[in-house]
Amino acid sequence: INWTSACVNDTVMLDGSGSQVGNPAQLTQWLWDLNGDGQHDAQQVSIGHVFSSSGSKPIRLIVQADNGCIDTVFASAIVHPLPLAGFVPDVVCFGQAFQPQNTSSISTGQIQNYSWSFGDGSGGSGQNPSYSYADTGWFQVELVVASDEGCLDTSKVPIYVSPGPEIQASVNPGCFGQV
């Protein structure tokens, strides 16, 4: 069985085309058990399968030739967990830095990369960035995290950059306490 490791919800490609039988016999059937329950989940030479949870997945391939000979091989596919991208935006006032609180996590492994899009055409990297907006208004902030196995997740949160208060003051000449 040739296969590639994958992330949860990715398609794992399984290939039984390397199976052989001696001449003059021909292989006629490929039966795949993809969850260890003994049932045949697919009957093609090569298949794509999506696993919805991480871990080592038992795979069994039974091949049958037209002369009645049967052989079975067992293998495991490694399915890596997805990271969970997340952040809590802070209150953003114009002229102050946007500093989101990163809440991203992963059950096994490590988050290796943090890629930010601040919604105004600018981006950044790092776990806890700091960014100053050049204008007020609504912006869609996007965080894409990648695990050490290349698994990705994205979080998008709208934020509002507030114009903040306008302060006006005047100074009148005089002495303290005099009206």
Which tens digits make up the pLDDT trace of 116-144? 999 999 999 999 999 999 999 999 999 99
Work out the pLDDT band at 4, boundaries 50, 70, 90. Answer: low
Q: Are strands 101-102 and 92-93 parallel, antiparallel or unpaired?
A: unpaired
Q: Are strands 111-117 and 137-147 parallel, antiparallel or unpaired?
A: antiparallel
pLDDT, tens digit, for every residue of 76-101? 889 999 999 999 988 899 999 999 99
Asked if 104 and 31 count as a contact pair (C-beta separation under 8 A), the reply is no
Q: How far apart are the C-alpha atoms of 57 and 32, rounded to whole Å?
A: 13
- What number of residues does the chain have? 179
The answer to whether 62 touches 31, Cβ cutoff 8 Å, is yes
Question: pTM higher than 0.95 for the full model?
Answer: no
Across 89-116, average pLDDT: 94
Cα distance between residue 106 and residue 53, in whole Å: 13
Taking the C-alpha atoms of residue 85 and residue 166, their distance in angstroms, rounded to an integer, is 36
The predicted model gives 57-77 an average pLDDT of 90
d(CA 49, CA 34): 8
User: Buried (b) or exposed (e) across 5-31, using 16+ Cβ within 10 A?
Assistant: ebbbebebebbbeebebeeeeebeebb
**DSSP-assigned letter for residue 120:** S
- How far lies 61's CA from each of 5, 24, 31, 113, 146, in Å? 17, 22, 6, 37, 32
Q: Is the dihedral of CA 54, 105, 155, 125 positive or negative?
A: negative
